[in-house]
Amino acid sequence: MSEPRRAVVLLSGGLDSATTAAIALHQGFELATLAFDYGQRHRRELDASAAVSQALGGRDHRVVRFDLRAFGGSALTDAIAVPHGRAITEMGHDIPVTYVPGRNLIFLSFATAYAEVIGADDIFLGINQQDYSGYPDCRQEFLDAFIQTANLATKAGTQDGRRLRIHAPLIQMTKADIIRKGLELHVPYAMTWSCYEGGEIACGTCDSCLLRLKGFAEAGISDPIPYANATH
């Protein structure tokens, strides 16, 4: 019997990345999960990431620390206010204030380095073009260009016939589809954290909470986490 193949999975601890990890597992990969501590406003999602990795039987969970606050430039790392109570239709058409410059480029670069070190050829990430059409680094054409670059940058892509591959299984799915898929795969959604704020319980009014709540509503399922101000 051959060894299970390992995949590096970017696991932020949110709903999308947890579902992505479950999909990788379902496809037969052994999970090497990777989270980033990059000066985000709260650590709730890092705790969620470690808990979800363990719940899914991740073999290895690593946290890479770096500080984007040195650069400034986004509501998620600066003191700029995160928007609350927006209509869903207001989201996703412009580049939002929560955009972190180069974030997925940086995340995927670290994932590439980690894949190289552990001999994995597959990288999974939970980006989604539907909800985040305003983020330039959530598009398929960015991923296609990235993986070509990553293969040129590494031994994996230049020696012994290996090729790195990138998987973004959620990229065209709606939030409701993601949740339905995740429930089928027993994703522990109660452990996930999506809220942009770092309160005791999720705020229920930031863009991320609103998208999550709308997804559960559309899937006809109630979200297992409590909310401070649920409007759905």
User: Where along the sequence are the contacts to its own copies (CB under 8 A)?
Assistant: 62-68, 70-73, 95, 99-106, 108-110, 112-114, 116-118, 136-137, 139, 141-142, 145-146, 148-150, 152-155, 157-159
Contact, 104 vs 127, CB < 8 A? yes
Q: Which is nearer to its own copies, 29 or 135 (CB)?
A: 135
Tokens at 93, concatenated = 């058409």
Find the shortest distance in angstroms from Cβ 62 to its own copies: 5
Write down the H helix ranges in 33-163: 44-55, 103-118, 140-153, 155-158
Residue 224 burial (CB count, 10 A): 11
Find the shortest distance in angstroms from Cβ 178 to its own copies: 23
Q: Which is nearer to its own copies, 99 or 216 (CB)?
A: 99
Q: Which of 218, 44, 51 lies closest to 131 in space, CA to CA?
A: 218
Find the shortest distance in angstroms from Cβ 119 to its own copies: 10
Q: Which is nearer to its own copies, 67 or 184 (CB)?
A: 67
Find the shortest distance in angstroms from Cβ 203 to its own copies: 27
Distance of CA 37 to the CA centre of its chain: 13
Distance of CA 185 to the CA centre of its chain: 17
Give the three-class secondary structure for 182.
Answer: helix
Q: Which is nearer to its own copies, 146 or 216 (CB)?
A: 146
Find the shortest distance in angstroms from Cβ 21 to its own copies: 19
**In angstroms, rounded to a whole number, what is the distance separating the alpha carbons of residues 62 and 75?**
25
Q: Which is nearer to its own copies, 88 or 117 (CB)?
A: 117
